[in-house]
Chains A and B, each alone.
Chain A
Amino acid sequence: MKMSLNIIRYFVPKTKCHFSWKNPIIQGTIQYTTASGSSDVFNNMTDWETLSKKKKISKAMKAYLERAREHDDFMKKQQFEYNIGKRHLANMMGENPETFTQKDVDRAIEYLFPSGIYDPAARPLMKPPEEVFPARKAAEFDEAGRPHHFLFYTGKPNFFKLLYDAVENIQQANNFEDRVIRKKATPDPNGKLDLGGSVWLTKEQLEMALVESITDLEYDNFKVVMERLVSLPYSYRHKEFIEKHRKPLASQKFALEIPKPSYDDEGKAYITTYECLRKKARGDVTIKSPGTGKITINGKDLSYFEDTQSREQVLFPLIFTGMQDKVDVICNIEGGGPSGQSGAIRWGIAWSLRSFVEKDMLEKMQVAGLLTRDHRRRERKKPGQPGARKKPTWKKR
């Protein structure tokens, strides 16, 4: 009702009346207009604005509300079905439905629907609907159609807000620096940000976090702005903001869980590494500690490999750590070719040597890259192209 009054206030012309308000006729009319009229009076008006004013909600808003309602219903239904499904699954597996976690669900699905499909993304699975279906944004504008976010009309409000915040932080850091210099103080050396063990969020992760799609150019811009922020001396004051957009890397794995050697019949300490893989070669490597430098591959000497390169690769970790005369190596491999097999053995030896070597040597091995699993595989040939990357001759027209 108030709104209708406002509208009328705008659309009824304000006249500079020579008549006084006390004029009964005008008074009457003004009284009439300012009084809160009943709805049937308005219903009788046929002015197009007044007709349209009945639709308080804009078309976009209406459509949005419709969609939101549908989505909510859908999600509720999915959640309901998921919960029921989970209970059914628990009953099938004979476990307690109350304490059936997501891990148990995964295990159960793998057991009940064994899949020979190679790609893990294509196998059957059951996950809570929030993980499976993409997130949607909440209401972005109110009923009048006015957006809540001040950057709504950029099209990607969350992303640009992020950049806006970053720039604001940069300016704040600069101001702080100016103040510090004026006071002739020095920055705190302990506060330096250590960004060695993390990377910026990838484009996909950023898209997921912001629930918006981003172009490559915009993502590069984002990275540039964040790098700028990090390079400032007082960036540690905005540590949380930066940490929020960095993903930590799980790379210290080589130092954790170093296995202890077991002892065989002769009292020699030995370690076996299974699952040594590279390309298509698969094998296992055993290292025996007080040894003479004997290397046995599939029962044969190092002459199993006929080319020098493979032999050098097998010897690489031993010579790097200086243990070539102190350990015996026994390996079994199959599959792949000389390069794949020697690469697998190299990784296997390095991984086993972790237990026989000191900590600083361990770090040196990690920096040398000997402890990284090489999970590269041959890229498949795509249809319409002669090879994996090679394309048919490019014709300009």
Chain B
Amino acid sequence: MLSRNLRQFCRRYSQSTTFRTSQTSPSQHNENQIGMFYTIDANLGKQLFTTGGLPKSFMKQTKTFTETAVMVRRPALDLMECIKASDMNKPVVRYVLYGEKGAGKSITMAHLLHFAHEQGYLIVHVPWVSEWLRRLPRHKEMSNSQTREGFVDLPLDAASWLLHFKTQNQLILKQGDMKLSKTYEWSKRESSEAGSPLAAMIEHGINRVKYACDVVDALVQEIKILSNNKQCKTFVAIDGFNSFFYPLTRLNTPTKKKVKPEEVTLTTSFLELTKNDWNNGAILITVDELAVPEDHQESFLPKYLLYKKGFEHLDPFVPIEVGRYTEKEFLSCASYYRDRLWLRGPPEIETELKFTSTLNPFKFMEQCAPL
């Protein structure tokens, strides 16, 4: 109790310290606050990010620092300006975030998710694509798709994603009158009628795991229609998009044949979603080196990571580079770590760390770990 009061007390004073800002609403962030940390409210954080969204190492930091704090950086501000200024009647603009490993792409995406949530967008967020295609516990639940020939389903993953979608968009789904435009028949006895709320279909998908992938497909189509009808504005965020275009996945069919990403139903759904044939929304995509195996990690530029197919699919897009820290950002990050008791020692350490970490945010965090 006492510590919490102490913290709030400190926060009131933190306006005078240079690394924090008390402005918690992303739409109000502007140039004055570059380099400063703002905290996301705990409940909101849980709602948005529990089932994925922030990188794992960041989640550990959240626990240690007992708060979720994100730094305001230039790429995020630029994106917010663009989205605010974009015309909703024109087809969706696709933004591609790229940068080297550990530069802060996922965190920027988290910042924008917060912004989108505040602005009342319907959030379609895929936390990490490689989770579906490349992460293989002992046995991956896979089944052959029923509605489509030769395609592979990932039922559990789809169901968990639907749950994630539901938690992120709780408010909008409750209040909005988003209805299905046509009937979807799942089996002889189950179907979703036209005019029934979207939430019901999602519930159905979560309960009946067998049809989860098809529900996802249907959901994508519905969202497009709804956006076109101006019933809701959509914010699509996909992290690790280039994983869809890598020639192989780690999945195997029961006959030990390697599966290509195009043969997974989830891939097709999200590729549909990222086409620019709908309006009233924004699409944010990250291309990451970590999404592909290490032999192909020569460069972090989108043209290399997306391969020809991806590039053509996404063309035209707006590339935004997420770079390393600037001096000011670095110093503010260092003082934040000191405040949170993550970095200790004489002040000369900062000069060394500046060089050893080459101003890469992730490396800096790693370097401070044992100190």
Which residues of A line the B interface, CB within 8 A? 293, 295, 301-303, 308, 311-312, 315, 319, 324-325
Q: Are A301 and B352 in contact (CB under 8 A)?
A: no
Closest to A303 in B: B358
Q: Which one of A295, A302, A324 contacts B351 once the chains associate, using CB atoms below 8 Å? A: A324
A71 to B336 Cα, complex, angstroms: 85
Cβ of B86 < 8 Å from any Cβ of A?
A: no
B352 partner residues in chain A, CB cutoff 8 A: 312, 315, 319
Instruction: Give 9 pairs: A residue, B residue, CB < 8 Å, sorted on A.
Output: A293-B355, A301-B358, A302-B355, A302-B356, A303-B360, A311-B358, A315-B355, A315-B356, A325-B351
A293 to chain B, nearest CB (A): 7
A187 to chain B, nearest CB (A): 47
A99 to chain B, nearest CB (A): 57
Closest to A300 in B: B358
A312 to B367 Cα, complex, angstroms: 12
Number of A-B pairs, beta carbon distance below 8 Å? 23
A319 partner residues in chain B, CB cutoff 8 A: 351-352
A301 to B359 Cα, complex, angstroms: 11
Q: Are B355 and A324 in contact (CB under 8 A)?
A: yes
B44 to chain A, nearest CB (A): 35
A-contacting residues, B340-371, CB 8 Å: 351-352, 355-356, 358, 360, 367
A312 to B355 Cα, complex, angstroms: 9
A293 to B351 Cα, complex, angstroms: 11
A390 to chain B, nearest CB (A): 34
Q: Are A311 and B360 in contact (CB under 8 A)?
A: no
Q: Are A312 and B358 in contact (CB under 8 A)?
A: no
Q: Are A311 and B356 in contact (CB under 8 A)?
A: yes
A293 to B360 Cα, complex, angstroms: 16
B360 partner residues in chain A, CB cutoff 8 A: 303
A324 to B352 Cα, complex, angstroms: 9
A295 to B355 Cα, complex, angstroms: 9
Q: How big is chain B's contact interface, by range?
A: under 10
Closest 9 CB pairs of A and B: A303-B358, A302-B358, A311-B356, A315-B355, A301-B358, A308-B356, A319-B352, A312-B356, A324-B351
A210 to chain B, nearest CB (A): 54
A325 to B351 Cα, complex, angstroms: 9
A295 to chain B, nearest CB (A): 7
Closest to B348 in A: A319
A325 to B360 Cα, complex, angstroms: 18
0 or 1 for each of B241-263: is its CB under 8 Å from A? (1 = yes): 00000000000000000000000
Closest to A295 in B: B355
B37 to chain A, nearest CB (A): 25
B76 to chain A, nearest CB (A): 23
B164 to chain A, nearest CB (A): 34
Closest to B366 in A: A308
* New contact pairs (6) apart from A311-B355, A311-B356, A312-B356, CB-CB < 8 Å: A295-B355, A302-B358, A303-B358, A308-B356, A308-B367, A315-B352
A330 to chain B, nearest CB (A): 15
A301 partner residues in chain B, CB cutoff 8 A: 358
B351 partner residues in chain A, CB cutoff 8 A: 319, 324-325
A317 to chain B, nearest CB (A): 12
B356 partner residues in chain A, CB cutoff 8 A: 302, 308, 311-312, 315
A395 to chain B, nearest CB (A): 46
Closest to A325 in B: B351
A152 to chain B, nearest CB (A): 67
B330 to chain A, nearest CB (A): 13
A293 partner residues in chain B, CB cutoff 8 A: 355
Closest to A293 in B: B355
B339 to chain A, nearest CB (A): 24
B351, B352, B355, B360: most-surrounded residue (chain A CB, <10 A): B355
A324 to B356 Cα, complex, angstroms: 12
A302 to B367 Cα, complex, angstroms: 15
A275 to chain B, nearest CB (A): 25
B355 partner residues in chain A, CB cutoff 8 A: 293, 295, 302, 311, 315, 324
A312 to B358 Cα, complex, angstroms: 11
Closest to A304 in B: B358
A311 to B357 Cα, complex, angstroms: 9
Closest to A315 in B: B355
Closest to A309 in B: B356
A305 to chain B, nearest CB (A): 9
A311 to B364 Cα, complex, angstroms: 13
A312 to B352 Cα, complex, angstroms: 8
B371 to chain A, nearest CB (A): 12
A324 partner residues in chain B, CB cutoff 8 A: 351, 355
A303 to B351 Cα, complex, angstroms: 16
A301 to B363 Cα, complex, angstroms: 14
A284 to chain B, nearest CB (A): 21
B358 partner residues in chain A, CB cutoff 8 A: 301-303, 311
A80 to B356 Cα, complex, angstroms: 66
Closest to A319 in B: B352
A113 to chain B, nearest CB (A): 48
Closest to A301 in B: B358
A325 to B358 Cα, complex, angstroms: 14
Closest to B367 in A: A308
B367 partner residues in chain A, CB cutoff 8 A: 308
A308 partner residues in chain B, CB cutoff 8 A: 356, 367
A172 to B352 Cα, complex, angstroms: 59
A303 partner residues in chain B, CB cutoff 8 A: 358, 360
A178 to B66 Cα, complex, angstroms: 78
A235 to chain B, nearest CB (A): 46
B58 to chain A, nearest CB (A): 21
